[in-house]
A and B are shown apart, each in its own frame.
Chain A
Amino acid sequence: MKSRSLKLREAHKSSGAASFCSILWDLRAQHLLTSSSNDLSICIHDPLLPSNSPQILRHHRDGVTALALSPNSTCLASGSIDHSVKLYKFPGGEFQTNVTRFTLPIRVISFNRSGSILAAAGDDEGIKLINTIDGSIARVLKGHKGSVTGLAFDPNGEYLASVDSIGTVIQWELHSGTALHILKGIAPDTGSDLSVLNVLSWSPDGETLAVPGLRNDVVMYDRDTAEKLFSLRGDHVQPICFLSWSPNGKYMATAGLDRQILIWDVDQRQDIDRQKFDDRICCMAWKPNGNALAVIDVMGKYGVWESAVPSSMKSPTEDVPSLQSKNSNGLLLFDEDEQEPSASGSLSDLGEDSHGESEPPSRKRLRKQSTYDEDINDDLLSSLPKVESRKKASHSHKESLNNGNEGLKSTSARLKMQEAFQPGATPVQPGKRRFLCYNMLGSITTIEHDGYSHIEIDFHDTGSGPRVPAMTDYFGFTMASLNEHGSVFANPCKGEKNMSTLMYRPFSTWANNSEWSMRFEQEEVKVVALGSAWVAAMTSLNFLRIFTDGGLQRYVISLDGPVVTASGFKDELAVVTHASHCLPSNDQMLEFRVFNISNGTQPLKGHLPLTPGSCLTWFGFSEEGQLSSYDSKGVLRVFTNQFGGSWLPLFSASKEKAEENYWVAGLNMNKLFCIVCKSPDLFPPVMPKPVLTLLDLSFPLATSDLGAETLENEFILKNMHLLQIQQRIEEMAAAGLDTTSLDDEAFNVETALDRCILRLIASCCNGDKIVRATELVKLLSLEKSVKGAIKLVTALKLPNLAERFNSILEERLLNETSRPATLPLTSSNHDACTTPDVVTSKFLTSIQSSKPSQPVIPLPSPQLSSPLFAKKGKLQEGAKVGNEKVEQRRTAIVENIGKVKSLAEVKSIEDVMNQGEASIGEIKNGAVNQRPSNPFAKSSSNQEKSSLFDAIKKMKKVDETGKR
């Protein structure tokens, strides 16, 4: 047991006499309210900054005896010795109204769970139930003989329990106003001491009512029968004067007249912690969202006991029962009648809960969260069927997981084709700005205000993007798209007089008034898209309408099915449509097609794959123009021309952190740009301005026995990049454009890929996967890398593998030397088998030149590999070689190659190329004739010449590999 003391601060002057003080948290624990029956003022403290002076409300003319906050913390009520009950706005604290007056001091007030009823009672006879909307007295409950000091609404909204100063507890039925149970003399008689008030409290699940007992204990009574269930008895040596349930109902804090607070584990009926104080604690309140207990003593000093429940135990806010969350959001609405069916529903729910050992997951969420979550969702589901699409699928999925009832209800609704959506838009949130369009360039946001919408266009790059003035939108646009030239808006049709309208606003134009709009009769725009000098609108009649920049109606095309979404990139428009009704397994059947607007062609068409049970949430192009899609299960797919046009899954949110959702904004070759939203949010708010996060793309690879997933992933990714670059080079070459920069890029990717492969080979060798290593060596693109691989395996003491690698290298050298002579401009990559038809003597000799020793003197392979190392300056076994002459020769060749290699690395290739391009043919002719003599020649001049030739030949080769 801890004996550390809690420091209390003075909130209200006590003037020496004990007074009843109250303390209260607001819903989000941002404020702490205190009052004292000796003080006229109510203080609103900031619990984070206790040293700051509190906000003070002074409206009562006598001490404040009771405080209550409506369940949504928007309304504060106070009762006073001056006989009045006042209402204030919260947290502002503006006085609103005197809601009722009594003839004698008020002792206690309480809101019901929905905030529609305020109960007030005191020394008067009768408990007044006040309708908080109009302030009318709904009912007066009479029956207490003493002054009423404690009131508690049953969380399920059926009963009200009250206790008076002589110890009588009455349980009232709310809708009839009758006293169901009268329990006389079960609570202590507090007599005339007004600083001690009898209290009572329902457990948060409403199953038990806790009342201080006569034997310094707390007695629990059953909800329906009012029978005594059990009691918490322990170390209190004087009667209990206050008690408070923890938000989850697992713990209870009790304060006794013996000046101590005990924390109880209710299920174990055991006290778990205690704290002694200088004065009697007369009020306590659990922090609604944390492990802390606010206390106030009779001298008006308050404090917050942090981690009142030992941290080793379950938090007092864990597993908060989410009863009637629907009603608790209600503002001050009188919904007593509506409450009953739902109340009984939740009753049966509760019954199941308390019997079952494990609680359903929905109970595990905090009450607050689930309330908001469901409310928004409910609202959206009911009132805004159009914009909910992206949220809905995942939500309904969650619901079906969480909650059997809801899941059943929504199964019929779930089997629905996905609604049309605009990529990068967020759903409508009442009173909040939302995105109509968010992309890598900027955003279009809107907010509805007094029947009009207010639209703003912002560019992320404020320096270079055009400045677009904000505009007032009388149409109520719900779709928009943005690119660097302009923005397009569209609204759905709302009845007869409000037709669907499409509007285009260019950002900069030489002509005045070049904004244009189109109206559609009996047709509704579903999706809009923008490209370079065209605007596209997909409509409810499955038309694809294409307009030019200036508003010319260019094409109208019929689509195959109802549109889902669309995206534009330069000349290309990609449209996703429904291929058929969705499958019984709830898989959307989508197909996509890409149109080239300026050429009037359709380059691509096919099915759009989705993760089973998911729907499309984002669709667009990467920065390089690759078609990409993102589904509600968090899988990103990128289209590739490989394998006849396929989608590659390049990212999976399930591999990332579980508590985060990713809202995609765009991607490039290596990274996914997205906004990270903390669960349960699925989309970002407009303010504060969201910041993009970069995530690495990765294939969903299987867990291999190699244990080098990152390398394997890098390997596949690099291969894909190389392929993409090569494709673009081909396209550009076909168009007759300069490809040098792309060549460089390709070369860089190639070297990076080789590095990656080498590391993979190393891990393969370590993992004893020799065959796999051999496969990898064949994939190396640079000769140098192959040599590196040989060196690597030699270092790893795998002579067999080194031998194999050597033969691979020889084969490769053979093919490569053969190629420049015969097919100097071949562009194919691995045409190892293409042997030229005409085998000339030159060809034969050139083979000899590249591997001179093999046919002449067969050497053991480890020794064969050694001269190759000589290139790197590691001539180790040279002395052992028997035939020194051959050795020297080979070294010379290798040195040549080495020289050329280093030349190539310095990248002076291009210079040399330019200088010698015109005469290459001649040199070749001449040089090739000299070629055979080259390796065997001893004369220095010859050597020099041949090395020049070698250099040029090598350059051509490097150039070619670069082009690949």
Chain B
Amino acid sequence: MAGQSDPHISLFSAQEVEFLGEDEMVEIVPNMRMDPLNLICGDFGPFRPQIATQVPLWLAVALKKRGKCTIRPPEWMSVEKLTQVLEAERNSLREFQPLPFHYVEIARLLSDHARDDIPDVYMVRSLIEDIRNVRFHKVETGLETIHERTHAVKLKNLSAMEANIVRPFVVRALQAFYKHDSPEMIPQPDTTAIRRRQAADRGPKRDRRY
């Protein structure tokens, strides 16, 4: 993959995607008492011991690092659910299972910082790894079908990290096909066209987030 071999080509670095993923909400159980936090991104809290509340992942991790809360892993992060997802991923060759847009990042952050809060953390981790591999394999095999008549690639339920990795390759491949297909259309490839295409490419993906 182009994106993997050369990290500069992917639009965001892995850290940047993780940063974006940190805005996802998770549930925490604080063990301290604190007034609501009024932040630019919203109001969170109040925090009361043993009473669950929703906060963004970055705040949860920050509190967790200070030993002020336990994080309740999201529902999809149970061994049972992940096993189901993995089976389903393996069984359907064309479709991706619906997982949170930032599932890779969330799982990574939680298993790094809150391993004691996740039951069977090793199992969960290896399952996520498996799911990622299966999905990526699917993406790769799917991209093999790109040929000169392809004008767009539709990938439903693709996650942020996956999209980020394949985006440069797909975009450039499509461009290349387009160019070779109709050389008279584009006398010389100008950068603005590329930008526009990328922007268009990003548009629908962002919609999938919600």
Contacts and interface: CB of A to CB of B under 8 A. Distances in A.
Given A48-B80, A48-B83, A462 B31 contact: yes
B79 A461 contact: no
A692 B33 CA distance: 14
A461 B31 contact: yes
A692 B80 contact: no
A296 B170 CA distance: 45
Contacts of B32: 461-464
Nearest to B68: A463
Contact of A461 (B33, B70, B80): B33
- B interface residue count range (under 10 / 10 to 19 / 20 to 34 / 35 or more): 10 to 19
Contacts of A459: 49
Contacts of A691: 29, 50-52, 72
Interface string B21-59: 000000001011100000000000000011110000000
Nearest to A49: B83
Interface in B61-97: 67-68, 70, 72, 79-80, 83
A440 to B, nearest CB: 8
A461 B68 CA distance: 9
Nearest to A462: B31
Nearest to A465: B49
- A interface residue count range (under 10 / 10 to 19 / 20 to 34 / 35 or more): 10 to 19
Contact of A460 (B50, B68, B72): B50
Interface in A671-717: 673, 689-694
Nearest to B33: A461
A49 B122 CA distance: 13
A128 to B, nearest CB: 41
A463 B80 CA distance: 35
B98 to A, nearest CB: 20
Residue among B31, B33, B52, B79 with the highest chain A CB neighbour number at 10 A: B31
A694 B50 CA distance: 11
Main secondary structure of the interface of A (DSSP, over half): loop
Contacts of A461: 31-33, 49
Contacts, number: 39
Contacts of A673: 51
Contacts of B29: 689, 691
A462 B30 CA distance: 9
Residue among A459, A461, A689, A690 with the highest chain B CB neighbour number at 10 A: A461
A459 B29 CA distance: 14
A48 B86 CA distance: 11
A689 B33 contact: no
A691 B117 CA distance: 13
Contacts of A692: 50-52
Contacts of A690: 50
Contacts of B70: 689
Interface string A149-188: 0000000000000000000000000000000000000000
A943 to B, nearest CB: 42
Contacts of B72: 691
A51 to B, nearest CB: 8
Nearest to A48: B83
A747 to B, nearest CB: 21
B79 A48 contact: yes
A462 B32 CA distance: 6
A461 B46 CA distance: 14
Contacts of B33: 461, 463-464
B51 A463 contact: no
A693 B72 CA distance: 14
A459 B51 CA distance: 13
A463 B50 contact: no
A690 B51 CA distance: 9
A675 to B, nearest CB: 9
B186 to A, nearest CB: 48
A689 B50 contact: yes
Interface in A453-508: 459-464
Contacts of A463: 31-33, 68
Nearest to B49: A460
A464 B70 CA distance: 17
Contacts of A464: 32-33
Interface string B133-154: 0000000000000000000000
Contacts of A694: 51
B191 to A, nearest CB: 47
Nearest to B80: A48
Contacts of B68: 463
A694 B79 CA distance: 28
22 contacts: A48-B83, A49-B83, A459-B49, A460-B31, A460-B50, A461-B31, A461-B32, A461-B49, A462-B32, A462-B49, A462-B67, A463-B32, A463-B33, A463-B68, A464-B32, A464-B33, A689-B29, A689-B50, A689-B70, A691-B51, A691-B72, A693-B51
* 9 nearest A-B pairs in the assembled complex, by CB-CB distance: A460-B49, A461-B49, A463-B32, A460-B50, A462-B31, A692-B51, A692-B50, A48-B83, A691-B29
Given A49-B83, A461-B49, 11 more contacts: A48-B79, A48-B83, A49-B123, A461-B31, A462-B32, A462-B67, A463-B33, A463-B68, A464-B33, A691-B50, A691-B51
